[in-house]
Structure 1
Amino acid sequence: MTTYYSKDHEWIAVDGDIATVGITNYAQEQLGDVVYVELPEVGKTVAQGDEAAVVESVKAASEVYAPIDGEVTEANDGLADEPAKVNEDPEGGAWFIKLKIGNSGQLNELMDEAAYKAYVETL
């Protein structure tokens, strides 16, 4: 499994033609305590850069953007009941959606872990 990162602080783990999407640890730290997560319906098609989900914290609401084109095959419905999981395990069990990859070429526009860490250091 290969993991990529976006400048909007989403991570995307690719396994075959399915990509799991969530927010990075940096993003959850910026948000603070997450109190609400809104996820898309299974079957929804998203384009790169489109809003794919919404996460709200005690500080602010923020969109989670689709890092690539795809169709939602699964949503992590457990986050609706336990949104605080986003703070506890943002780059693991607190993933937001799984996508059937629509354009694998878009992965080349994303960063690897080292490039993402370097990017975050500039913020």
Structure 2
Amino acid sequence: MIRVAMTSVYVDDVPRAHAFYTDVLGFETRTRLDLGDGTWFVTVGAPQGAQPDLQLLLEPGEGPVADPYRRAVYEAGLPAIVFSVDDIRSEYDRLSALGVRFPHGPREQGPTIAAVLDDTVGNLIQLTQPKA
């Protein structure tokens, strides 16, 4: 059996991304290593033991491949990653109260309800909840 252990999202500022993903979205820090020369290796994951074997690497998004890719995906309005939530409307309210910008709030999309937020470090993130 093959399972996802780690995936990455390109960000334009790793420390700012770490703060957003932990302080605002509520993820926990799994790994935070200073690699020197201002470079960090940072992973986050779902809190409280949920998905303990799955990590999200906050990948520096500079460079000839990552930067154009990240910008093109953002400008096309495509989410870089999708997170599932139990109650999308309460998450939308909670995050909006914290100042998170949503290009679109919760709305039905096929069998789900989805919303898209800006993670402040160059990405659009989709939140999704199955319809009841």
TM-score by length of structure 2 reads: 0.25
TM-score by length of structure 1 reads: 0.26
Higher-Rg structure is 2
Q: Which has the higher contact order (CA 8 A, sep 6+)?
A: 1
